[in-house]
C-alpha cells in the first residue's frame, strides 16, 4: 500500500543514522486491555512510532459458517446473535432477510416497523458504547463509557422486555418476529427515545469540544476515499472517508423508504479518527429521528406471517444485507433443496473494515494504533466467526 512504501525509506534513514536502534517488537494482545477482545497486533516500534503492524486474529473462531451448514435454517438464527454480540438484532435481520428472499415470505407491517425500531435501537446501543470504548482507548477513565452504558442499559431493558434477553436477543424469525412486544413496551420505548437526545447533548458537551480529544483524534489514522472504496470498507467508516453510501438508502430494504432521515458523511479530506467518531455521533441523531417516526407510525397486527418454521427451499442463491451499525452485514446462502443450506457465508463488516488497519497505523504512534483500532469498531465475535 502507498503508506507502507512511504514509511519504508523513512525507516531506512533511521538505520543509516548510525545508531543501531533496534526495532521493538511488541505483541499487543491477545490479552491486552484495548484490543477489544482476543485480538493481537504484532507491532514493530521504532521508539514509539509504528513501523509495521500485523493484525493476528482467529482466537475466537467458532466455525460459525460450517456449523450453520449442518443445521436447519432456523437453527442458525440464535448463532447469528453471537457474531456481533453488541448488535444481535441487526444480525438477526440480515439473516432473516436472506432466508426470506430464499423462501419468499412476506413480512407483516407491524413486524417491519418493529424490526426498524429494534435495528435503530441497536444502532444507538452500538454507537453510544463504541464512542465510550473509543474514548476509553484515548485514556479516559471510563467516564464516557459508563455514561454510555447507563443509557445502553435502558435500551437493553427494552430488548429484554421484548425478547427475553439483553444481548442474545434471537428475536427475528423468517417472516416476522418471534413474539409481539409486551403491553406498554412501545410507550416505554417512546420514553427512552424521547430522553435520548438529552443524553446526546450531554455526551457531545463532554466530548466533542474537548481539546485533548480533538488533538488526539484529528489527523490520526487517515483513510483516503480511494483506499476506503477499494478495500470494501462499509458503514460509518466509509462515510467518514467521504463516501455517501448507506444501504438503508441504497437498497431501501424493509420499510426504510417510508422514513425521512439523512446520512451524515464527511467531506473526505482526511477521514481520520475524528471523522469516524463524529459521523457516529451524528448518526445517532438521525436514528432517533427514524425511531420517532417508526414509533409514531406503528400499527396493530400480527408480527409473524404465515411462515413455516422448518422448510426445504428450492435450490437458489440469495444474498441479504442490512446496514448494520458497523457496516454492511450480509448473509449469502446457497440452498440445495435440503433443509440445510449448502453454503452459508457471512460478510462481516468488522473483518473487512479491519483490513485497512495496517495502512492506517503505519507511521503513527503506538497510542494512535490503539485508537485507530478503536475507531474501526470491531467485535471479535464477528471478525473470527
Partner 1 sequence: MSEQIAFWMLSAIAVLGALVAVRKRNLIHGVFALMIFFAALSGLFLLLLAEFIAAVQILVYIGAVGILLLFAIMLTERVTGDDGRRMTSRGWFWGLVVAAAVFVILLLPAIQELPPPEAAQAIDPSVKELGHKLMNPYVVTLEVLALLLTAALIGAVTAAQGVRIPKEEDSSE
Partner 2 sequence: MTLHHYLILAAVLFCVGLMGAFTRRNAIVVLFSVEIMLNAANLNFIAFWRYSENPALLHGPLFTLFAIAVAAAEVAVGLALVIAVYRHFKTVDLESMDTLREE
Partner 3 sequence: MSLLGGGIFKGMAVTLRNFVGSYFYKDRLTTNDYSWRPSDKLPQRAGEYPKEEGEQLRDTTTVTNYSRNFPMLLHDGSEPMDTIRCVACQICERECPPQCIYIEKSTEKKENAGGKPQFFPATFDIDVSVCMSCQICVEVCPFDAIVMNSQFELSTPDRFGGLLLRRDDLLKSNGYYHKIHPEEATARDKRIAEEKAAKEAKKKAAAEAAKKMAEEKAKAEAEANEGTPDMEENTE
Binding site for partner 2 (CB under 8 A): 17-20
d(CA 379, CA 326): 9
Q: Among residues 17 and 267, whose Cβ is nearest to partner 2?
A: 17
Minimum Å gap between C-beta 18 and partner 2 is 3
CA–CA dist 63, 60 (Å, integer):
9
Q: How far is the CB of 117 from partner 3 (least distance, A)?
A: 16
Q: Which is nearer to partner 2, 19 or 141 (CB)?
A: 19
In the complex, least distance from residue 13 CB atom to partner 1, rounded to whole angstroms: 6
150 binding partner (options partner 1, partner 3, partner 2, none; Cβ < 5 to 8 Å by kind): partner 3
Instruction: Output 221 or 381, the one with its CB closest to partner 1.
Output: 221
Query: Whole-number minimum distance, CB 23 to partner 2, in Å?
Result: 18
Residue 49 binds what, of partner 2, partner 1, partner 3, none (CB under 5 to 8 Å, by partner type)? partner 1
Q: Indicate the residue among 36 and 82 with the shorter CB distance to partner 3.
A: 82
Number of residues written out for the chain: 385
- Residue numbers of the site for partner 1 (CB under 8 A)? 10, 13, 16-19, 21, 47-49
Instruction: Report cis status (omega within 30 of 0) of the bond before 30.
Output: yes
| Residue 16 interacts with, from partner 2, partner 1, partner 3, none (CB under 5-8 Å by kind) | partner 1
The binding site for partner 3 (CB under 8 A) comprises 71-72, 74-79, 143, 147, 150, 153, 157, 160-165, 168, 170, 173, 178-179, 182, 184-185, 202, 205-214, 308-312, 339
What's the gap between Cα 85 and its chain centre? 10
- Partner whose footprint covers residue 13, from partner 2, partner 3, partner 1, none (CB < 5 to 8 Å by kind): partner 1
**Residue 43 CB, nearest distance to partner 3 (Å)?**
30
We find the least distance from the C-beta atom of residue 239 to partner 1, in angstroms, to be 29
Measured CA to CA, the distance from residue 347 to residue 365 in angstroms comes to: 31
Alpha helices in 28-108 (DSSP H): 64-68, 77-81, 88-103
Query: How many other CB atoms sit within 10 Å of the CB of residue 15?
Result: 13
Please, where are the H alpha helices in 164-246? 185-207, 211-217, 225-230, 236-240
CA distance 161 to 184: 10
Q: Is 262 left (phi over 0), alpha (psi -120 to 50) or beta?
A: beta
Cell of 100: 426470506
Closest to partner 1 by CB, 19 or 141: 19
Q: Residue 297: in which H helix or E strand, if any? A: helix 273-297
Between 13 and 141, name the residue whose CB sits nearer to partner 1. Answer: 13
CA atoms within 13 A on the CB side of 259: 28
Cell reading at 195:
430522553
Read off the C-alpha cell for 245: 453510501
165 binds, among partner 3, partner 2, partner 1, none (CB under 5 to 8 A by kind): partner 3
Amino acid at each position: 500500500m502507498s503508506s507502507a512504501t512511504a514509511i519504508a525509506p523513512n525507516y531506512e534513514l533511521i538505520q543509516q543514522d548510525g545508531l543501531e536502534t533496534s526495532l521493538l517488537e511488541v505483541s499487543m494482545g491477545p490479552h491486552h486491555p484495548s484490543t477489544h477482545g482476543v485480538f493481537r497486533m504484532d507491532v514493530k516500534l521504532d521508539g514509539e512510532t509504528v513501523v509495521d503492524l500485523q493484525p493476528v486474529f482467529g482466537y475466537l473462531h467458532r466455525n460459525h459458517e460450517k456449523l450453520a451448514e449442518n443445521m436447519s435454517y432456523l437453527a442458525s438464527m440464535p448463532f447469528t446473535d453471537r457474531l456481533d454480540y453488541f448488535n444481535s438484532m441487526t444480525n438477526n435481520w440480515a439473516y432473516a432477510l436472506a432466508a426470506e428472499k430464499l423462501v419468499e415470505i412476506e413480512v407483516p407491517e407491524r413486524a417491519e416497523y418493529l424490526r426498524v425500531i429494534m435495528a435503530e435501537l441497536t444502532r444507538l446501543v452500538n454507537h453510544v458504547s463504541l464512542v465510550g470504548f473509543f474514548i476509553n482507548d484515548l485514556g479516559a477513565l471510563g467516564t464516557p463509557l459508563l455514561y454510555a452504558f447507563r443509557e445502553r442499559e435502558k435500551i437493553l431493558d427494552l430488548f429484554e422486555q421484548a425478547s427475553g434477553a439483553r444481548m442474545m436477543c434471537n428475536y427475528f424469525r423468517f417472516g416476522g418476529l418471534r413474539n409481539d412486544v409486551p403491553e406498554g413496551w412501545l410507550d416505554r420505548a417512546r420514553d427512552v427515545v424521547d430522553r435520548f437526545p438529552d443524553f446526546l447533548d450531554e455526551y457531545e458537551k463532554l466530548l466533542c469540544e474537548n481539546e485533548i480529544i480533538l488533538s488526539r483524534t484529528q489527523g490520526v489514522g487517515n483513510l483516503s476515499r480511494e483506499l476506503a472504496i477499494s478495500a470494501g470498507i462499509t458503514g460509518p467508516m466509509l462515510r467518514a472517508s467521504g463516501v455517501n453510501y448507506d444501504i438503508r438508502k441504497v437498497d431501501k430494504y424493509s420499510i426504510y423508504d417510508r422514513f425521512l432521515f439523512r446520512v451524515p458523511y464527511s467531506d473526505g479530506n482526511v477521514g481520520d479518527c475524528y471523522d469516524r467518531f463524529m459521523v457516529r455521533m451524528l448518526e445517532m441523531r438521525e436514528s432517533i429521528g427514524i425511531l420517532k417516526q417508526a414509533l409514531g407510525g406503528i400499527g396493530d397486527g400480527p408480527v409473524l406471517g404465515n411462515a413455516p418454521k422448518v422448510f426445504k427451499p428450492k435450490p437458489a442463491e440469495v444474498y441479504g444485507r442490512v446496514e448494520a451499525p458497523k457496516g454492511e452485514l450480509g448473509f449469502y446462502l446457497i440452498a440445495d433443496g435440503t433443509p440445510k443450506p449448502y453454503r452459508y457465508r457471512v460478510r462481516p463488516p468488522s473483518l473487512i473494515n479491519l483490513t485497512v488497519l495496517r495502512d492506517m497505523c503505519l507511521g503513527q504512534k503506538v497510542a494512535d494504533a490503539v485508537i485507530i483500532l478503536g475507531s474501526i469498531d470491531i467485535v471479535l465475535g464477528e471478525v473470527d466467526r
